[in-house]
């Protein structure tokens, strides 16, 4: 790249850049840094948005600290910069800035940001894709298309161009490396993706994948086509909100739903009807309160990222979104209905030797490891892991997690791994946070912290006191062993539609995400219990519990478990 000019005598800011000739390369000298740019109209637009983003969120970095400086560069600095420019060949796009230290030649690339919500939506139709059978699985029982390394690299590149982010290691996790990726979406609000695995590299990759998943499900990653109005006004093209389990708590503070309540609606695919319908936006993206007028949006329901998933293909994302729904529905049905679940002898499971060794270390350190089979009518292996800290004066008594996967050992390992990571992290955190009472359970973390004391042990007695420890799990066969993910997804759709009214898929993927093989969806199955946080936000369905109790030959007369669920 040929540098048009070394600029060392003016402020580096938007106004100064606008006075320069477009479609040229420039270098700016600020103290010991030379900033190389490819000045185009596109660069100016992204530069302006990037600066607004950082200033609004009060973020300091290489770029913000270089803006508006009026330092006087001495002759040595200018000569060093000219020498650097004369020797350096740089191929630079108009989406990044290159910072180079004039003394060490150390380079730092800095991506400009772009408003993700102004992108184009990827045109994807799961009802068509399901018949294409093109997503070949890496292995017979591996329900992923791409290697995690490649997908995570693309996820990081996507975040680089959309938000300010940082990765960190949570050293409070004792047995497994836990990695987080934090990023700003709005002023004073930080969102996170977390990765937990048996090795640091995988944890790092998973954290970046979850970060993209969280960003894309908090806001639309594209210009969305929505509608505003009541169900009575949209009746022919919308799904009635009452089909999605409504708030059940008397403490709920939202507006009571009626069919005349005006709300925002977004598009979703109906699997049963093979058509597009409008469903409430409030159950489609969980960050709507950030970009909607609060009075006009008429909040009537609480929802979370339940059923949101990222995949290397659209079918893969939908498949794993369904697994998450099933995992959480099975756990909540077990919890609220106090359904006796078989406790599995995890020592007899076919874990790899490293995982077996780690489980032994956990138990040697004074932790009890419990694993319950929560598999229900869909026959997808589901587990609930409960780790109890028996050490005196502990700060986190019990931690819970769940897992669901067509391969039983994967479901069990996933649940145990998350629970083991969680209890050690919260053991440290709760030294500061203290105890929680029932009325205090109003937010996400409260559900975990409520169980930091041994006085809560009786809440688990319905499971722990069952005399039903089993040595061998029921074998579920290879119902999901097709060559493609689409084939297995089709079978899963068929099974769900035998038992539930429909499956709805919200496409949260932009075209630029699709180009990087990053597909995000929100999947919703009416009738499955949704994961909510805060006891005032519970969405509990009596009929769902009765149906499962009846299927097991249990009495349909029961008392709901009033203890807040312990799901993290």
Hey, what are 541's tokens? Answer: 């369905």
pLDDT digits (tens, 9 = 90+) for 147-161: 999 999 999 999 988
Kindly report the pTM of this predicted structure: 0.90
Give the torsion through C-alpha atoms of 14, 15, 20, 26, to 10 deg: -30
Q: Which has more pLDDT, 417 or 55?
A: 417
Instruction: Name the DSSP class of 455.
Output: G
pLDDT digits (tens, 9 = 90+) for 35-56: 999 999 999 999 999 998 888 8
Q: Is 535 helix (H, G, I), strand (E, B) or coil?
A: helix
Hey, what are 469's tokens? Answer: 């420890």
Strand 3-7 with 24-30, pairing: parallel
Give exposure, 104-121, as e/b (b: 16+ Cβ within 10 Å).
Answer: eeeeeeebbbbebeebeb
Question: Which string of DSSP letters, residue by residue, matches 197-257?
Answer: -SSHHHHHHHHHHHHHHHHHHHS-SS----EEE-HHHHGGGB--GGGS-----TT--SPPP
Contact assessment for residue 506 and residue 264, using Cβ atoms and an 8 Å cutoff: no
**pLDDT grade, residue 434 (50/70/90)?**
low
Q: Is 28 helix (H, G, I), strand (E, B) or coil?
A: strand
Nearest to 336 by CA among 539, 554, 552, 550: 539
**pLDDT grade, residue 310 (50/70/90)?**
very high
| Cα atoms found within 13 Å of the Cα of residue 440, Cβ hemisphere only | 12
Write down the residue that tokens 């508006």 correspond to.
68
**Helix H or strand E segment including 342:** strand 342-343
pLDDT value at residue 56? 82
Residue 70 CB coordination number (10 Å): 9
Sheet harboring 342-343: ordered strands across? 342-343, 367-373, 382-389, 398-404
CB neighbours of 506 closer than 8 A, spacing ≥ 6?
266, 267, 268, 279, 284, 285, 521, 522, 523, 524
Average pLDDT over residues 296-304: 96
Nearest to 51 by CA among 175, 164, 167, 201: 164
Whole-angstrom Cα distance, residue 222 to residue 507? 10
In Å, the largest CA–CA distance within the chain is: 88
Least confident span in 3-12, 115-124, 139-148, 527-536: 3-12
**pLDDT grade, residue 273 (50/70/90)?**
very high
- Rg over alpha carbons for the chain, rounded to the nearest Å, is 26
Average pLDDT over residues 59-75: 81
pLDDT value at residue 63? 83
CATH number of the domain at 327-464, out of 3.30.830.10, 3.40.50.720, 3.90.260.10, 3.30.160.660? 3.30.160.660
Please report, for the chain, the start and end positions of each structural domain, with discontinuous segments joined by +.
3-114, 327-464
pLDDT digits (tens, 9 = 90+) for 481-536: 788 899 999 999 999 999 999 999 999 999 999 999 999 999 999 999 999 999 99
Q: Apex CA 435: angle with CA 431 and CA 439, to 5°?
A: 150
The rounded percent of the chain whose pLDDT value lies above 90 is 70
Q: Which has more pLDDT, 455 or 88?
A: 455
**pLDDT grade, residue 61 (50/70/90)?**
confident
Residue 431, pLDDT > 60, answer yes
Least confident span in 13-17, 54-58, 331-335: 54-58
């Amino acid at each position: 790249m040929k540098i048009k000019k070394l600029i060392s005598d003016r402020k580096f800011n938007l106004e100064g850049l606008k006075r320069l000739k477009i479609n040229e390369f420039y270098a700016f000298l600020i103290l010991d840094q030379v900033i190389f740019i490819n000045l185009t109209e596109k660069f100016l637009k992204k530069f302006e948005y990037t600066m607004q983003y950082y200033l609004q969120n009060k973020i300091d970095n290489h770029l913000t600290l270089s803006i508006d400086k009026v330092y006087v560069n001495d002759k040595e600095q200018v000569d060093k910069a000219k020498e650097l420019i004369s020797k350096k060949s740089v191929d630079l796009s108009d989406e990044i800035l290159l910072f180079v230290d004039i003394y060490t030649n150390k380079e730092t690339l800095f991506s400009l940001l772009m408003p993700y919500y102004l992108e184009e939506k990827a045109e994807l139709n799961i009802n068509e894709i399901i018949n294409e059978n093109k997503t070949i699985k890496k292995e017979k029982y591996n329900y992923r298309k791409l290697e995690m390394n490649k997908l995570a690299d693309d996820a990081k590149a996507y975040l680089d161009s959309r938000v300010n982010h940082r990765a960190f290691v949570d050293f409070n996790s004792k047995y497994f490396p836990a990695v987080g990726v934090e990023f700003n979406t709005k002023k004073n609000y930080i969102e996170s993706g977390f990765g937990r695995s048996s090795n640091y590299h995988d944890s790092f990759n998973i954290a970046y994948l979850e970060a993209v998943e969280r960003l894309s499900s908090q806001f639309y990653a594209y210009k969305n086509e929505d509608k505003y109005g009541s169900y009575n006004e949209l009746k022919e093209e919308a799904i009635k909100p009452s089909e999605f389990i409504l708030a059940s708590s008397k403490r709920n503070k939202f507006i009571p739903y009626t069919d005349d309540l005006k709300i925002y609606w977004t598009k979703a695919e109906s699997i049963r009807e093979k058509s597009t319908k409008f469903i409430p936006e409030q159950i489609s993206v969980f960050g709507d309160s950030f970009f909607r007028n609060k009075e006009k949006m008429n909040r009537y329901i609480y929802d979370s990222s339940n059923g949101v998933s990222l995949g290397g293909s659209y079918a893969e994302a939908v498949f794993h979104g369904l697994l998450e729904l099933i995992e959480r529905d099975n756990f909540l049905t077990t919890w609220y209905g106090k359904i006796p679940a078989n406790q599995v002898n995890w020592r007899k499971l076919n874990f790899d030797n490293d995982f077996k060794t780690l489980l032994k270390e956990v138990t040697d350190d004074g932790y009890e490891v419990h694993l319950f089979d929560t598999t229900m009518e869909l026959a997808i292996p589901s587990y609930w892991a409960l780790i109890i800290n028996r050490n005196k004066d502990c700060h986190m008594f019990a931690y819970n997690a769940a897992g669901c996967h067509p391969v039983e050992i994967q479901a069990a390992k996933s649940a145990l791994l998350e629970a083991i990571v969680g209890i050690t992290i919260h053991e440290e955190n709760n030294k500061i946070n203290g105890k929680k009472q029932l009325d205090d359970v109003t937010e996400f973390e409260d559900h975990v912290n409520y169980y930091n004391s041994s006085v809560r042990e009786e809440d688990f007695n319905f499971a722990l006191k069952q005399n039903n420890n089993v040595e061998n799990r029921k074998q579920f066969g290879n119902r999901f062993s097709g060559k493609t993910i689409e084939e297995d997804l089709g079978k899963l759709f068929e099974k769900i539609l035998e038992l539930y009214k429909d499956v709805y898929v919200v496409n949260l993927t932009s075209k630029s995400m699709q180009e990087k093989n990053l597909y995000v969806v929100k999947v919703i199955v009416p009738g499955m219990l949704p994961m909510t946080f805060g006891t005032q936000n519970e969405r509990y369905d009596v009929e769902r519990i009765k149906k499962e109790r009846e299927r097991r030959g249990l009495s349909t007369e029961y008392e709901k478990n009033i203890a807040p669920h312990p799901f993290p």
